[in-house]
Chain A
Amino acid sequence: GAVVSQHPSRVICKSGTSVKIECRSLDFQATTMFWYRQFPKQSLMLMATSNEGSKATYEQGVEKDKFLINHASLTLSTLTVTSAHPEDSSFYICSARWGYEQYFGPGTRLTVT
């Protein structure tokens, strides 16, 4: 089956620093990748949709200057949380679309101290 990896799985950083999360489709090419944020016991909230070679489309209310998304190739998308603050602490999940299905990465737990 299609596999999506995310790295790192956990990251702790200090307030004011930037953190980069990688999302890779390992055995297929994904023209579209999605980034979600999930708070405990809540549903997934779509942050942005990224298409290879073009700018990401951000959902309303998501700060594009804080959450930088780069989809440089058909197998890699990155999310950079710039100048992270404690309120950015959350679980971030990526997914990659293949056909009409999305395949999810295992998620990244970000803790900002």
Chain B
Amino acid sequence: AQTVTQSQPEMSVQEAETVTLSCTYDTSENNYYLFWYKQPPSRQMILVIRQEAYKQQNATENRFSVNFQKAAKSFSLKISDSQLGDTAMYFCAFMKHVDAEGQETSGSRLTFGEGTQLTVNP
């Protein structure tokens, strides 16, 4: 079974500064996906960024980037130029690989970490 651990229950950062959220995971799989989701006060889950394990290059989406260390099973999220709208709960998630046709395979569920509440202060 896979496990995902987020060791920082709460973090805060000043507006315009940079913050890094930590995530580690444990799996025996070689092919998998990693995700960061954001859940603002509205509670709508929003995909922030995803990483395929077979890709060595770290994923980047505008102000959001990850540091993916496969051997260390670490997947941290860096938020640059933090904005007030970034205030949210952030969840790291793991999913085993699905085949190219997107067919259902056992275990295509997401395994979530406990979450990190990020507060961006003005």
Interface centre among B45, B97, B98, B117 (most CB of A within 10 A): B45
Which one, A49, A102, A107, contacts B43 given CB within 8 A? A107
Q: B102 at interface (Cβ–Cβ under 8 A)? A: yes
Q: A26 at interface (Cβ–Cβ under 8 A)? A: no
B window 1-52: CB within 8 A of A = 33, 37, 42-47, 50
The A contact surface, by secondary structure, is: strand
Contacts of B44 in A (CB 8 A): 104, 106-107
Interface centre among B50, B91, B102 (most CB of A within 10 A): B102
Q: A32 at interface (Cβ–Cβ under 8 A)? A: yes
Contacts of B91 in A (CB 8 A): 43-44
- In contact, A101 and B50 (Cβ under 8 angstroms): yes
Q: B55 at interface (Cβ–Cβ under 8 A)? A: no
- In contact, A43 and B50 (Cβ under 8 angstroms): no
- In contact, B43 and A106 (Cβ under 8 angstroms): yes
- In contact, B117 and A43 (Cβ under 8 angstroms): no
**Interface bracket on A:** 20 to 34
Of A14-22, A65-73, A74-82, A89-97, which stretch is located at the interface? A89-97
Given A91-B43, A101-B50, A106-B44, A44-B102 contact (CB < 8 Å): no
Q: A99 at interface (Cβ–Cβ under 8 A)? A: yes
- In contact, B108 and A97 (Cβ under 8 angstroms): yes
Contacts of A31 in B (CB 8 A): 104
Q: B109 at interface (Cβ–Cβ under 8 A)? A: yes
Which partner residue on chain B sits nearest A109 by CB separation?
B43
A101 to B42: give the CA distance in the assembly, Å: 21
- In contact, B33 and A100 (Cβ under 8 angstroms): yes
Interface residues of B (CB under 8 A from A): 33, 37, 42-47, 50, 89, 91, 95, 97-98, 102, 104, 108-110, 112-115, 117
A-B contact pairs, 11 of them (CB 8 A): A34-B110, A38-B43, A44-B110, A44-B112, A46-B110, A49-B109, A51-B104, A93-B45, A95-B45, A102-B110, A107-B44
